[in-house]
């Protein structure tokens, strides 16, 4: 048994197998991270806003958790496998490889994978980080002159103001183009708060 353990240790430390083992560990980390993030979020949202029995709610939580974990694991697998494949073809790693591998993984996992609520939330989360990252990059690369000091602190106020200004304009003029769960929460905050017919519906209950 000790000999098998030693052989396994030698195998996992052998640089020759690093790339394939890195892909496998990436898949493992995608499963774990996706499960952790989605389970807590789905549990809270389902308990607070979904109707039905406890059993039905738990099935929804498990389904969302499984989808999030599976999709992240699959994306990591495609992304890292593509990176290593391109490195072998080109003879070295290139920055453009990350973009190409991301395109491929994003298309097959989150594009062709269907427009589920889980996929939408993940892609929109990534999109918001991309926009903020590009805003910071424009300052860092001096595309936008005149902004000095900490890049994040200088860009953030403009980014936050632009997001809220645009979303509130869309909510007022064309609310149907907003993501349904966001529109629902905005209805609750900004429209339902305009209506009440008693102290009960003013303070204790929405309606």
pLDDT digits (tens, 9 = 90+) for 90-105: 988 899 999 999 999 9
pLDDT at 15 over 70: yes
Considering only residues 3 and 70, tell me which one the structure prediction assigns the higher pLDDT.
Answer: 70
Q: What are the structure tokens assigned to 203, written together? A: 């303070």
Contact criterion met (CB below 8 Å) for 122 and 68: yes
Distance, CA of 58 to CA of 68 (rounded, Å): 15
Q: What are the structure tokens assigned to 60, written together? A: 């929804």
pTM, entire model = 0.77
Ramachandran quadrant class, 142 (left: phi over 0; alpha: psi -120 to 50; beta: rest): left
């Amino acid at each position: 048994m000790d000999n098998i353990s030693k052989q396994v240790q030698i195998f996992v430390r052998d640089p020759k197998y690093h790339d394939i083992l890195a892909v496998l560990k990436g898949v493992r980390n995608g499963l774990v991270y996706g499960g952790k993030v989605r389970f807590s979020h789905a549990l809270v949202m389902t308990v607070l806003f979904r109707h039905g029995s406890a059993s039905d709610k738990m099935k929804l939580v498990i389904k969302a958790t499984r989808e999030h974990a599976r999709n992240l694991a699959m994306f990591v697998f495609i992304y890292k496998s593509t990176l290593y494949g391109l490195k072998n073809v080109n003879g070295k790693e290139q920055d453009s490889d990350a973009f190409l591998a991301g395109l491929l993984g994003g298309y097959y996992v989150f594009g062709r994978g269907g427009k589920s609520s889980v996929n939408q939330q993940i892609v929109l989360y990534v999109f918001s980080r991309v926009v903020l990252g590009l805003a910071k990059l424009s300052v860092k690369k001096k595309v936008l002159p005149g902004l000095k000091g900490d890049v994040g602190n200088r860009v953030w106020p403009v980014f936050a103001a632009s997001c809220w200004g645009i979303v509130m304009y869309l909510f007022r003029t064309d609310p149907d183009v907003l993501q349904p769960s966001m529109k629902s929460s905005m209805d609750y905050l900004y429209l339902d708060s305009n209506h009440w017919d008693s102290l009960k519906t003013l303070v204790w209950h929405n309606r």
